[in-house]
Chain A
């Protein structure tokens, strides 16, 4: 077992309750938390209690922070606390704030119903940060009582802390024996701003629609701040289809790793594979440069079964295109943002670049920001075919076939 380095950063899930779009306060607090070395998993505004609880479990956070500004907080906080308890995750405390809308009388009721603490208007940010760090920092330990997604999530947390999961540990993580089911792992890389997160979310929607009963896992790697070591992990905000119990979503901060992935990503992939829960795992790297090879496809230890390289039309012309190493090794290449005026030229240039490789690589043209984009349908079908997703649920019809109305 690797020796523990400096204590692992605190992980906090922040969100704004359902039917509330007031995100000014939570945005400021997210920035402050990250500045104080905390990893903030931000879920967004207008979030239901069940979505908050699901995210808290999968992210295995130290605590949940809720910012509520348009009323109904007594009922809502109680609902979150109750759902955490009911699902066996009552160890995750909940704190919150709402300026003046949560009164001191409300606080007494809310505390009695299980909310850990309320911050009132005028609390200095520095005091709040110090108290959060003091109150919620604790080392993650394996916990045999954790079930399902929480057990997986805790195993990943342990890996993030430097503990490699021994085989047996990974096997017992979800409480189920190592499955013989094949899990197809796809690494998704591409320059920042190419729309990887949106594309992954759209692929998730295709999975949910075309593979009924199956589960998908998403590992989103995002950079830590080099000085504070904190991070704002905001991929969940835009991941509208991840709010489903069939999706396991985990945000990983890179914590100083410069490979494009968290150092714990290989272990996390192993844990998810070993659980036998998932048909498909998509691993998103941080935005990559021309030489990057986050998934070790050029001679390193290959972490994934296939690689999807995503780029957008503004890659900077033919010469720049020549330099991108991953275009040689990627199994799948997608040109996203095809509604961009440059897309037509880009398509021709990239396909020509792929033809040079002589590997029969086909360019997928997608516009992930557009709902129901046929380009995304085709890309998903290609992934499903490549991964043999049609055979995993023995006997059922080929699940990658697009449904008639798609």
Chain B
């Protein structure tokens, strides 16, 4: 049964608790004195720093008050950064300059094009300016749909929009030359329906290079969020129940074996890109997250074991709600996980990756996209996202070319390193009246959606009734009609149009020669393993039919089988996904 109503109630109850505590702080002398003492201690813990121009600054901005009600309000409702309910931030110092240089770099630049070696070269280029190792991978269409590059009628799609990966050998080529066991390495993979197969290939390739004991050191994220695929992104292979089973198998395997790996990234990005409003994005993403928590709990996995391994991914566009979306999401997640799921501190923290909005980028006068992305980055960082990808200005036309990918990366450096907005003082903006007003409005709207879905029977039941898809499509259609009517001004498209001809932009495309090379490699792999593959697939089929954990077996299957062979085997057991309009 759905917990969404209960979760919405827990947020309301927490807000009522805050209001009661504020009142108590103003009426009970003993409580007031305790708060003042705690406040004095917290203030004293804040170190000082200086701007380059010489202005002395605290490393954390706190409300300038000694009034016990205001102190209670701040500490309980917003939370000291890194403290429940985490509205301010997941951690205390986030992007601040650190003398030791051990801080977590938030920048992750997503890349993927052509064959494995092409993406590998792009990784090397993008990491030139990063202290830590950041490898974020986009896959091509056939890989995302679990098909081999030699599948009939797919050749033109091979290596387009992302990298083509068919086998464990491709995976080895993709990360060649990078030390994935470095403590500051982080690999991410935007991979969903075939995520268990692709992660198994990653593990197998890593074991080959770094030895069997490397698994515990591998750090990164695989997206694997099947609920949002069914609701918005449409990259689904297996029926919903089987998709969720394979995902939970993977998470259950990863929790004890890969303590540094995030086996799911609960994503609103694609929900927003498909047209959802910011509130719908947040409501659907959080409710999907709570649904995974329910599924894992029902399997008997401890919430304090899986909770810290869940991560989140939001879109950031230019609508005003984005000013607070990350803050509101962290708060709802923390309260719901604590008060409904009984999660401990580590399992309450919503760790957030943000990507600037692809949908907001347009072809007309595309260089304006640099400004759009910069503004979105500013909003993302104001929400203290833990990591961030900035889009390239040329994305309406092509997989990012080197030039615009580099400009996108520099956009982040300009905000975090060149500007003084984020590096001297933490929480410059939080607590402003406008932000607080927006937080309340957005939170309330999200809880309304939770309650509506609760009456439909929860996330999965609502999904079967097409609830999320209808809402997203309706919003997407509204955006388009607002653009065409001019109600939503888009500079260069429906306002201040220059009528200049479309520029000729260099395109990153994969040549037919390369596409054929990928097919040859795959054929050679299949030939090499022709003897062993049938047995490996039979073992996988047996495990899938028995109901045991499929992921444990996949790690072996990928040694001798291609992605397409494995997909076909599993489809034979569980059937195919039936799409919804």
Contact = CB atoms under 8 A, between A and B. Distances in A.
Given A103-B502, A125-B484, A126-B484, A79 B153 contact: yes
Interface of B: 140-142, 144-145, 147, 152-158, 160-161, 233-235, 239, 273-275, 362-364, 366, 396-399, 464, 473, 476-477, 480-481, 484, 493, 502, 504-505, 507, 509, 574-581
A121 B363 contact: yes
Contacts of B580: 237-238
Interface stretch (A17-25, A292-300, A380-388): A17-25
A198 B502 CA distance: 45
A162 interface: no
A27 B398 contact: no
B509 A71 contact: yes
| A contacts with B: majority SS | mixed
Contact of A124 (B152, B273, B484): B484
Nearest to A99: B396
A21 B484 contact: no
Given A72-B157, A100-B363, A101-B396, 4 more contacts: A19-B145, A24-B275, A44-B579, A104-B502
Given A70-B160, A100-B396, A120-B363, A20 B579 contact: no
A71 B161 contact: yes
B543 to A, nearest CB: 18
A238 B153 contact: no
A45 interface: yes
Given A19-B154, A27-B473, A121-B362, A201 B578 contact: yes
Nearest to B240: A369
B574 A371 contact: yes
Interface stretch (A4-12, A46-54, A110-118, A213-221): A46-54
Nearest to A31: B477
B143 to A, nearest CB: 9
A44 B233 CA distance: 13
A124 B579 CA distance: 29
A368 to B, nearest CB: 9
B477 A240 contact: no
Contacts of A403: none
B225 to A, nearest CB: 14
A22 B141 CA distance: 11
A122 B156 contact: no
Contacts of B147: 19
Given A27-B473, A72-B160, A48 B153 contact: yes
Contact of A28 (B273, B399, B476, B577): B476
Contacts of A1: none
Given A45-B234, A238-B581, A70 B141 contact: yes
Nearest to A337: B464
Contacts of B152: 48
Across chains A and B, which 10 residue pairs bring their CB atoms closest together, nearest first? Answer: A75-B156, A19-B141, A371-B575, A21-B234, A100-B363, A71-B160, A100-B396, A72-B156, A70-B161, A72-B157
Contacts of A45: 234, 579
Contacts of A22: 234
B449 to A, nearest CB: 20
Nearest to B501: A104
B576 A240 contact: yes
Contact of B235 (A21, A71, A75, A126): A21
A122 B364 contact: yes
A122 B153 contact: no
